[in-house]
Structures are given as C-alpha cells and as structure tokens.
Amino acid sequence: MGDDTRIRVLNRNIRFLSYTLLSLYLGVMSYMIYFQVFMAEDIEAKQGNVRYLAKTNKVLRGNIYDRDGNVLSFSERQDDGSQKRVYSGGTAFSHPLGYASAQYGVAELEKRMQEHLTNYSFDITLSAKDFLGMLKDPDSYVGAEKYGDNVVTTLDSKLQRAAYKSLGSQYGVVVAMDPSTGEILAMVSTPTYNPSKIDTDYESYRNDTDGVMVNFANVGLYPPGSSFKVVTLASALENLGNALGRTFEDNGKIEFADGTVLPNLGNRAYGTIGLEEALVVSSNVVFGTVAMEIGNAALRKTAESFGFNERFSFHDINLEASRFPELSKSQGGEIAQTGIGQGEVLASPLLMAMITSAIANDGVMMQPRLVSAITSHDGNIRAAFESKTLKAPISKEDSDTIAAFMKEVVDQSSAANLKNLEKLSAAGKTGSAQYSELVYEELVTGVHSWFIGFAPYENPKIAVAVIVRGGGSGAGAAAAVAEDVISTYLGK
C-alpha cells in the first residue's frame, strides 16, 4: 500500500471518528436540552422534590387582572434574586385573591391558579445564529424567558371597591354576580387583612379571633332567615296544588303542641292572605305553615335542587356545603322553622347569590366563575373559560312568578333603602335571621341582616347577596349595602 493510499484511509477513519463523536455529542446535548425544556418542569412540580421551591422563585409569578385588564397583583424581582408579590388592588381584593408567600405558601385564587401562575414555556429558535450558543449553554438560553402565565378574573374593580367601602367597619359579605353567565363581579368579606404584609403579619392574622383570613363568602355558613322564603315559595309552587289560588290564615303566630310558638315580627296578624302578600309582608306564619304542609322531604328536595347539602369545587373557587336538615314528621315546629330559613338551615352568601341569579335567569343556575382566561406573558390566550349551566332548579314559569313577587317586596316597602332600590328597578327579599353562637364559652345571640336581589327587573344584569353579621333588620344594613352595589354597577 502506497503512502497516498494510507493517508486516504487514515483521513477516512479520522472523519468517521469525528462524525461519530459529533453525533454522540449532539445526542447528549439534545437530551440535555430536552430534559431542561420539557422534563424539568414536571419534576419541579412534584412538591416533594427539593427543586420545587427553587422553581417558584425561578419563574417570575404571573399577574392577576380584573375583567378590564387592571393589574390586581404582580411580582417584582428583588436585588437578591428573590421575588416580592405586590397587591396593587389593595385589601378590598384580599379574600378572592388570597396571598402568595415563599414563607407561608399560597391561598385562595393564588393557590387554585398556582399551576398557571408559575407555568412557563420556551420559544426555542433553531436558527444558525442561536444553535451553537444553545448547545454551549442550554440552561442560560432557556432560562431567559421564564415568566408565569397571567390570570384574568371576572372581578369588576369599581364594584369590588364600592362593596368594600359600603361594608366599611361592619362585619359582613357581599357577593355580586352576572346572573346570565355566573361571573362573579364582586366578592368582599370583612373584616379583612393586607396580603402585602403576609410575611410580617401572618401570625397575627392567623390568630385573629375575627377570622380576618377567612373568605366567609364561600365558606361562611349562616341562618338565611327570611331570604330563604324564596326557596320555600319555589317548593310551594311545585308541590302545592293551585298554590297561587290558595289563601292562608295568618293570626300572628303558630302554636305547637309542645308549647313552642312561631310568631310573626311583633306578633302582627295579617289575616287571610295569599303567597304573594305573604312574601311581601314576610309572614312567618304562612311560610311556616307551607313548610309543614309540603313536608320536610319535599322542601329538602327543593333546597337541594338549589344546591343545599352539596359541596362544590370548581377550578377557580370552592363552595362549602350549605345545610338543610332531614326531619321526621313529628318535628312540626322544626319543620316550620326551616320554612323561614331558621332552625338548622345554614347558607353561604355565595349560594344565596347563586339562588338569586337562578331566579333572575329564568330558573337556570350558572356555574359561578371567578376566572375568565389564562394568558401568556406576551398576551396570547392559553385558555378561555366559557359559561356553563350548573343546575335548572325551577321552571321559567315559577322563576317568573318568584321574580314578580320579589319585585313587589321592593315596590310595596316603605323602608327608605328599599324605596331607593325601587328607583333602580330592583327585585329582592330581605331577611332578619336570628342566631346564637358560643364566643369564649359564652352564648351570644343577635340578628343577621340579609338582602338578596337583582336588577333591573326587566333585564337582570346583576344579582347580589349581602349579609351584615349582627346587623339587625334586612331592610336596614344589608339593603343599604345592596343599594350601593347595584347603583354602582348600573351607573346610577
């Protein structure tokens, strides 16, 4: 073999070895890139992995917006490489949004949207200009664009702040919804806390006896009082023959065999009245009588069709189960109490807003929604959440009847707050719910103020449920807040 031949063979072997080594190198680097880009996030998402905590800081947490694109919370990168969560919406938004803290974790919407807010994707450009740089240092290349996705809520900032201001120092809850879509327009619970100070004041917030960190809108359970009479009315329309043609004798009180009494407010007697007038004057006698005539099983079935005794968990919000009891036929007094929203009946403000929305929406209850969309850092829509029907508890005919009766409740009232609601073409029902609870081993009694309603009556745009804890008459504190909220939303 000549020298030229040996040189050609040697060069061929060198080229073959070079190609082999290059292929192995590219293979290893490709796997590293694949691991960094596609696998690292899945591994980091496992909270038992030590990289999980690193991930929450490595990704700049996404923003949360209101329905109009105003920023409610965002994160800032600090000089030491950590990030600080800023709540530009202020304390008015603390309960629906919750908090995000490297020290104390996440809560409420910040928790339910954690996967989205800490999600990032890579835009890999395989141009000749970038390819060699990516092979050399893939981690720095892909790490350049680690921004969390953004969450767009259904909240109306102007309405949220109006509800928060109207409640003021009172302890209470406001939930406002679009009855036709289920969108939550406002959700306020007081007293509240400052999520921007969670790292410094967490312990004092957590130990606060007023439960400032609890969102009572969806987990608080209260006797609904006379606001529940719309449910008893729905059950009467379904279960009593010729319900609208019936009249009832109201002598001011119901006396039971065991000596207990269910009176009207002030023991006032209304004489012979039908269901419409009974709702207008809020007759305990009539609705207690109706509950006994319908029976516990039928009334409970109606209540459950509206969502009682059922816990809901949606992707953006959960709802604690409101309660309606199972009673025997011999418990006449207790059955009568349930017909007026007392006894063992407990309801969350969110469910009462959903019930009101169903009445305003032809008997169709929409799934409550707090999030409308997920967007990327550069504004592209990653997911959009459409309206969904949750239940259809009553017929359109019955919902029209109840809505008309609720309109008369407002129109025929002489209370100042309801006269103002009449000017907004609102329909509603007040509630004055008696309660008793143990506070530091001492029994405390009082009256919660409730108002549920919607407006305008002819074409409902907003449905509200308001409770002022210990606020007294429903025509007072709760109706005043409802008027502020509805007038703000309708721009009147």
**pLDDT band, residue 27 (cuts 50/70/90):** low
Task: Taking residues 289-296, report their average pLDDT.
Answer: 97
Report CA 142 to chain centroid distance, whole Å. Answer: 37
> Roughly how many angstroms between the first and final C-alpha of the chain, as a whole number?
102
Predicted confidence at residue 46, as pLDDT, reads: 46
Which amino acid, one-letter code, is at 452?
I
Q: Is 45 exposed, middle or buried (0-12, 13-18, 19+ CB in 10 A)?
A: middle
- Between CA 400 and CA 398 the distance in angstroms is 5
| SS3 assignment, position 341 | coil
pLDDT, tens digit (0-9, with 9 covering 90-100), for 151-198:
999 999 999 999 999 999 999 999 999 999 999 999 999 999 999 999
Are 466 and 224 a contacting pair, CB within 8 Å? Answer: no
Please say whether the beta carbons of 194 and 99 come within 8 A.
Answer: no
Average pLDDT over residues 334-345: 97
Amino acid at 440: Y
**Domain 157-370+387-490: which CATH number of 3.40.190.290, 3.40.710.10, 3.40.50.300, 3.30.70.2190:** 3.40.710.10
Q: What is the mean pLDDT of residues 308-329?
A: 97
Facing residues of 465 across strands? 175, 452
Strands of the sheet containing 427-439, edge to edge, are 184-190, 172-177, 462-468, 442-455, 427-439
Q: Looking up tokens 């800490």, which residue turns up?
A: 118
Query: Of 260, 257, 325, 336, nearest to 292 (Cα)?
Result: 336
The pLDDT, as a whole number, for residue 50 is: 36
CA-based nearest residue to 236, from 294, 288, 283: 294
* Amino acid 384: pLDDT: 95
pLDDT of residue 57: 79
pLDDT band of 438, cuts 50, 70, 90: low
- Look up the pTM and report it: 0.86
Q: Please enumerate in sequence order all residues whose Cβ is within 8 A of that of 451, keeping only pairs 6 or more positions apart, or say none.
A: 227, 428, 429, 430, 431, 464, 465, 466, 474, 475, 478, 479, 481, 482
| Helices and strands: H and E segment counts in the chain | 20, 21
> How far is residue 252's CA from residue 457's CA, in Å, rounded to a whole number?
31
What mean pLDDT do residues 57-78 have?
A: 94
Q: Strands 150-153 and 64-65: what pairing?
A: parallel
Residue 406 has pLDDT above 90, yes or no: yes
Please compute the mean of the pLDDT values over residues 61-88 and round it to a whole number.
94
DSSP summary character for residue 156: -
Mean pLDDT along residues 104-133? 77
For residue 387, the model assigns a pLDDT of 96
The CB density around residue 389, as the number of other CB atoms within 10 Å, is 11
Q: Which residue from 95, 122, 155, 106 is spatially nearest to 41, judged by alpha carbons?
A: 122
Contacts of 449 by beta carbon, 8 Å cutoff, 6+ apart: 172, 431, 432, 466, 467, 468, 470, 471, 472, 473, 474, 476, 477, 478, 479
Q: What is the pLDDT of residue 485?
A: 98
Between CA 308 and CA 321 the distance in angstroms is 6
Two structure tokens written together for 217: 């809108």
* pLDDT at 123 exceeding the cut of 80: no
Mind listing the pLDDT tens digit for each residue in 372-388? Answer: 999 998 889 999 999 99
Nearest to 468 by CA among 230, 179, 188, 281: 188
* Count of CA atoms in the C-beta half-sphere (13 A) of 105: 5
Q: What is the mean pLDDT of residues 424-451?
A: 88
* Higher per-residue pLDDT: 247 or 82: 247
Q: What residues does each domain of the chain span? A: 1-40, 157-370+387-490
pLDDT at 122 over 80: no
Rounded Cα gap, residues 37 and 207, in angstroms: 43
